[in-house]
Amino acid sequence: MTAPDPYARAATAAAVVATRTGDAEHRVAVILGSGWAAAADAFGPALAEIPADDLGLAPAGVPGHRGVVRSVALAGGRALVFLGRVHAYEGHDLDTVVHGVRTAAAAGCRAVVLTNAAGAVNPAYRVGQPVLIADHLNLTGRSPLGGPPPPAGQPSRFVDLTDLYGRARRAELIAAAGPLAEGVYAGLPGPHYETPAEIRMLATLGADLVGMSTVHEAIAARHQGLEVLGISLVTNAAAGLGDAPLDHGEVVEAGRAATGELGRLIAVAAGLLAA
């Protein structure tokens, strides 16, 4: 799948989605982060399942990411569920990191639910707790809209992120799913965990959560005109705030332990956005 620009690559991938699923348009996309994959079963049986590499998606190289895309039925239409993502710290350029979001947009999606595993900077959060992302700090020093400008026919790259994570949609989800904490997510490059001094800095900046994904996908999604809901699963206390050393295994295990709750939550979120 070679194409002259990343948006053309996304259009090519969307054509594969339409052929493999028998549906020319999906309504909403869900991207599952570390530890979230088992929650995909909350959507019911897949109508189709496509290997990620058939869509030009880079292979998932981190435990807890399966590397397949499912087409599932929702009351408001079909959803694309990405069981995993790739990260910039794996050596990918940002066009590769956000290819799934752009593919979803080209496949007709009007909204995306972005999930991730996150460390708790806010000491009030508990392990296993889902937290709605209210805003983010992009501390990676990079944007998926950098480099050459988008080709003709694409929106301006000077996109407004004022209400990136949809205040009204968050309120709807809380009304439908029950009380949920909301917080600011700090996106850092990784792959190493942060130092205690860096966590103290993030708290001073107003961060409640810290992770290594999501911010670039959210920016790319808004650039394509998609609504965005972001949900973090708290998998550990951030560096210096807990007694145990940080380990990716606990990230995956926290996701497994919360599978039922997470599945119901993302199914409700996707249903709201698809309606």
Q: Residue 35: pLDDT above 80?
A: no
Q: How confident is the model at residue 257 (pLDDT cuts 50, 70, 90)?
A: low
pLDDT of residue 24: 85
Q: Residue 64: pLDDT above 90?
A: no
Range of the domain at 29: 6-274
This model's pTM is above 0.85: yes
Across the range 182-187, mean pLDDT stands at: 98
Tally of domains in the chain: 1
Would 1 be classed as within a structural domain? Answer: no
Would 171 be classed as within a structural domain? Answer: yes
**Which two tokens mark 236?**
């550990």
Give percent above pLDDT 90 in the chain.
72
Output the CA angle 41-47-53, nearest 5 degrees.
85
Q: pLDDT: is 62 or 212 the higher one?
A: 212
Number of C-beta neighbours around residue 108 at 10 A: 19
State pLDDT tens for residues 72-118: 998 878 999 999 888 999 999 999 999 999 999 999 999 999 999 89
**Bridge partner list, 114:** 31, 230
**Residue 185 in contact with residue 232, Cβ under 8 Å?**
yes
Q: Residue 162: pLDDT above 60?
A: yes
Catalytic residue IDs: 34, 65, 87, 89-90, 117, 212-213, 236, 248
Give the span between the Cα atoms of 49 and 35, in whole angstroms. 19
Across the range 174-183, mean pLDDT stands at: 96
CATH at residue 226: 3.40.50.1580
Q: Residue 241: pLDDT above 50?
A: yes
- The CA–CA distances, whole Å, from 246 to 53, 150, 235, 255 equal 31, 39, 10, 15
